[in-house]
Structure 1
Amino acid sequence: MGNLNIAVLGPLGYAKDLGKKGTTSDITFYNLKKGDDTVTLIEPTRYPERLAPLFYAASMADAALVVIGEITPTLGEWILMLDEARVEQGSIVLQNYLTPRDLAPLLRGTVLERYEFVDADPIVLRDRLLACAHARPSVAPAPGVVGTVPIDHHFNVRGIGTVVLGGVTRGGIRKHDILKVYPGEQAITVRSIQKHDDDFDWATEGDRVGLALKNIESDDLDRGFVLSNDPEIRARTNLVARAALVKYWPAPLAAGTVLHVGHWMQFIPARVEAVQDGGDRRQPTLTLALEKDLVYLPGDTAVLHYLEGGKLRIVGHIELA
């Protein structure tokens, strides 16, 4: 029994031939299941007019499926996002007579350089994805293990109450666990756990879950909120962080610039308050004032975006301490 989360970047709706359509908003989920093995396919539905859905898809992904029919600025943005979000595993489907050689200069030095070129046949792709899911089995978390679940959707279900959808990004959770909601630290109880519509007593890292919660209303939640019982979790509106900018970024970052910080299911405006680059403009230390709390674990990275950047909207990443 295993689950694999796949960001599908290609023609809109490409994933419909691979899985059954599920939750739809600015991102769309498709579900593939065989026996106890499951694959969650994630498409950025509202991209490219909005950048956030592309980040969300990459942020949730264990791996990517990239479908390339032409070389365009959009392809360049896909490559930058997957590289900055560190989606290190993936597959590439080529269309319109493109060859691996055509793409080699674009992929060189990025995580996509290690992706495999695969057959476009949907049956072959489904089997391949399910085999990858089977190779990473879920194991029940040991007693005392802490867990973290970023929320991507939330709603009220008649007769059940508040339900959230998300993925276990660290550790594991169990039915009846008491977790805190960040930001704010309100305590809630996990009433029940579902994985791909089946009831479970537990979920572990990599699992996509639906959780029924006790002691909170859906209206009190928002996308990007985080459920956790990890004592290391942090919530900050001010950060001092080391950045690494993409090689294409044309100029030093300046105080006053408004960026968006992406981490888990958060996409938060942040003003650059100060920049110290020590002579290396591509690796500055940034002082950032965020519009609201960023929730994270020490050692995580977050992707920097500049929405006014035209064809270059991905700035780089920061290290969170």
Structure 2
Amino acid sequence: MSKTEHHVIIGTAGHVDHGKTALIGALTGVETDRLTEEKKRGISIDLGFAPFRLPGGMIAGVVDVPGHEKFISNMLTGIGGIDLVLLVVDVNEGVMPQTREHLQILDLLQIPQGIIVLTKCDLAEEDWIDIVEEEVREEVSGTFLEKAPVARVSAITGDGLDGLASLIETKARTLPIKDADGPMRLPIDRHFTLSGFGTVITGTLLSGRVRAGDMVEVLPPGDTVRVREVQVHGKQVEEASAGQRVALNLAGLDRERIRRGAVVGTPKVFEQTTCIDARLTLLADAPRPLKFRDPVHLYLGTARVVGLVALLDRDLMEPGESAIVQIHLDRPLVAHREDRFIVRSYSPMTTIGGGRVLDPRPVKHRRFRTEIMEALKDLESGEKSFLLQKLSDQQSTTVKNLELLSGLGRERVEKNLRQLEEEGLAWQLVDQWAASDALASWRHRLRDATTRFHSENPLQPGIPHATLKGALPDKVSSKAFQKLLTMIIDDGQLVRKGEWIALSDWTPQPTRQQAEDLEKIEAAYQRGGALVKNRNEMIERLNLTPEQADTYFTFLFAEGRLVKLTEETYLHAETYQNAVQLLRDHFAQNETLTLAQFRDLFGSARKQVQALLEHFDSLKYTRRVGDERVAWKLPEKD
């Protein structure tokens, strides 16, 4: 499917028995009431779905929600993913309680577009319809539907349906085209088992694409399974993309392990959370204030959980007020920054407010802290502030992780990071990004660790790379560490000495006893020449402890007085230079060299000669061809 293909989800809202289901049936030809009880009682209990071919050919998905107050939770499950809402009002009854509650919910969720639909107009006089329309206009004043168009229809006679369909298409064309190139995310609103097929789930695809054969993760429980088949509006398709109603047949997943509210997504991209930072707004007509740690029912996507609201800057939140809060959830769900949610009072259950997620995985905050509230307001103020806050919280992270935390696409994340880099607030360290304050802290840590190592190991030429990296958090990658180290070396604060890192002015200073011991070791290697003993034998002969040996041999190697061939094989520098000269002289007269030939030339044991020739190979002085060696990049004579 094309990235620019337009997919739209239409939803209904309104009081029970105001004709929502009949309207959808008249528009689409589909009976969305599928349950026996729904047909028996004549009201919608659960969500209904239908495809709707608009006059211009676009096929929209329709979600029909129940209007009865007892099934408001089902209504909330279906309404979250819609792009365009039809607020349905029966002209014979006018605005009713669920009309108002649904309108409040739609406004809190910030549904992009809407149309007011007056139904059953065949049963009312024109003057009466005018009065009802004026009543509805007064009700929606100050909401997202304040300037919405009004359609007068009859599902029985068909009057006004063509005009409504054209109006829907006009509105739908103004909606932004969804970018389906992000990670796949589908909240589950239904799940069931079909004989011969296994587990089937349905939902509105919020982002990304999905194809048969894809591996997806179901959260909860966290199982990764294969998509056996993809359907859109009851028809098998190769691929579905963002903005479509989708049914997925999942292989190897027991229906009992999933529930409404779970999310199907790209594996290893989404995470569950039991705590969110959010901007919460209470309705002006909420029945009472909200107190610290009051329980609420929270509806996000298709999930419903109980949350304890932690008020961070007050003890009481009055109706009509808005505040940044932290909500602790009784069970995990998948949340994204900017996700909208609804809260209902714990008991009796009534809609009291809603809001949007600022941070889906925050740390626990202490209350009444000015610096915390300022940081949270910065977090709320925009994408760049949010990303900088996440960088500061995590110290270092990847673009992929920031995509996950922010809900933004990769291009927008990278654009914001580049701006932060230009402002000197963030740095790219190869495969990771870090906030500037973290970077400054790490520079200090590396210098301190090097200074401390010098103090504790006065004879060592410097601190080994691996030891120095241990001074940084584990999450800092090897590539990021090397980049940071290069930056510090380029600044002249540290220097690289072969395998070690040292302060720029560092010089090892042996004590008198250490200097004597070093002289003994060097003299022994100088006397031994090509027939020198291996390291362990030399340590035993010179009566050195393992700790002394490690320190002394490292010092002599760093000073260039000994040459290390292997962990056990060292040569005196003069002996080694003699071996290099023998190598040059041989290849001046010959094209190849065998181990036996060099053993005879050098006059040493086979094991020692083999280590020496492999050392020459590693330096690219020679290259092995079968059992022989040929000259490659022989060093020039000093």
Classify the TM-score, shorter chain.
0.7 to 0.9
Partner of 1:85: 109
C-alpha distance after superposition, 1:150-206 (max 9, x if no partner)? 111111222222211111012222222211111232111112211112222211111
1:319 and 2:357 are equivalent in the alignment: yes
SS of residue paired to 2:286? coil
Q: Would you say the 8 A contact 1:38–1:133 is kept in 2?
A: no
Q: Would you say the 8 A contact 1:253–1:275 is kept in 2?
A: no
SS of residue paired to 1:176? coil
1:188 and 2:198 are equivalent in the alignment: no
SS of residue paired to 1:156? strand
Partner of 2:332: 293
Among 61, 68, 90, the alignment partner of 1:47 is: 68
Q: Structure 2: how far apart are the matches of 1:36 and 1:6?
A: 15
Q: Would you say the 8 A contact 2:275–2:327 is kept in 1?
A: yes
1:234 and 2:238 are equivalent in the alignment: no
- The total of aligned residue pairs comes to 318
Partner of 1:112: 145
Q: Structure 2: how far apart are the matches of 1:275 and 1:51?
A: 29
Partner of 2:58: 37
Q: 1:232 to 1:283 in 2, by over 3 A?
A: farther
How far 1:82 sits from its partner (Å)? 0.6
Q: 1:2 to 1:114 in 2, by over 3 A?
A: same
Partner of 2:25: 16
The one-letter code of the counterpart of 1:110 is T
Deviates more, 1:218-227 or 1:30-39: 30-39
Structure with greater helix share of residues: 2
Q: 1:134 to 1:242 in 2, by over 3 A?
A: closer
1:73 and 2:83 are equivalent in the alignment: no
SS of residue paired to 2:70? coil
Q: Structure 1: how far apart are the matches of 2:240 and 2:164?
A: 26
SS of residue paired to 2:355? strand
How far 1:73 sits from its partner (Å)? 2.5
Partner of 2:322: 283
SS of residue paired to 2:77? helix
Q: Structure 2: how far apart are the matches of 1:290 and 1:139?
A: 30
Partner of 1:6: 10
Q: Would you say the 8 A contact 1:187–1:215 is kept in 2?
A: no
Structure with greater strand share of residues: 1
Q: Structure 2: how far apart are the matches of 1:193 and 1:30?
A: 16
How far 1:209 sits from its partner (Å)? 0.7
Deviates more, 1:49-58 or 1:148-157: 49-58
Q: Structure 1: how far apart are the matches of 2:183 and 2:25?
A: 35
Q: Would you say the 8 A contact 1:254–1:274 is kept in 2?
A: yes
Tell me which stretches of 4 or more aligned residues in structure 1 moved more than 6 Å: 134-140
Which has the higher Rg, Structure 1 or Structure 2?
A: 2
How far 1:210 sits from its partner (Å)? 1.0
Q: Would you say the 8 A contact 1:2–1:36 is kept in 2?
A: no
Over the residues paired in the alignment, what is the CA RMSD in angstroms? Answer: 2.9
Partner of 1:26: 46
1:102 and 2:140 are equivalent in the alignment: no
The one-letter code of the counterpart of 2:135 is D
Q: Structure 2: how far apart are the matches of 1:233 and 1:286?
A: 23
1:122 and 2:122 are equivalent in the alignment: no
Among 308, 312, 315, the alignment partner of 1:271 is: 308
Among 215, 236, 255, the alignment partner of 2:292 is: 255
Structure-2-length-normalised TM-score:
0.46
Q: Structure 2: how far apart are the matches of 1:139 and 1:243?
A: 27
Partner of 2:613: none
Deviates more, 1:55-64 or 1:200-209: 55-64
Q: Structure 1: how far apart are the matches of 2:143 and 2:224?
A: 41
Deviates more, 1:267-276 or 1:85-94: 267-276
Q: Structure 1: how far apart are the matches of 2:179 and 2:110?
A: 26
1:221 and 2:245 are equivalent in the alignment: no
* Structure with greater contact order relative to length (CA < 8 Å, sep ≥ 6): 1
Q: 1:52 to 1:113 in 2, by over 3 A?
A: same
How far 1:216 sits from its partner (Å)? 0.9
How far 1:207 sits from its partner (Å)? 0.4
Q: Structure 2: how far apart are the matches of 1:135 and 1:238?
A: 35
**Residue correspondence of structure 1 range 56-67 to structure 2 within 5 A:** 56-67=77-88
Percent identity between matched residues is 22
Q: 1:137 to 1:260 in 2, by over 3 A?
A: closer
User: What 5-or-longer segments of structure 1 have no aligned partner?
Assistant: none
Q: 1:304 to 1:232 in 2, by over 3 A?
A: farther
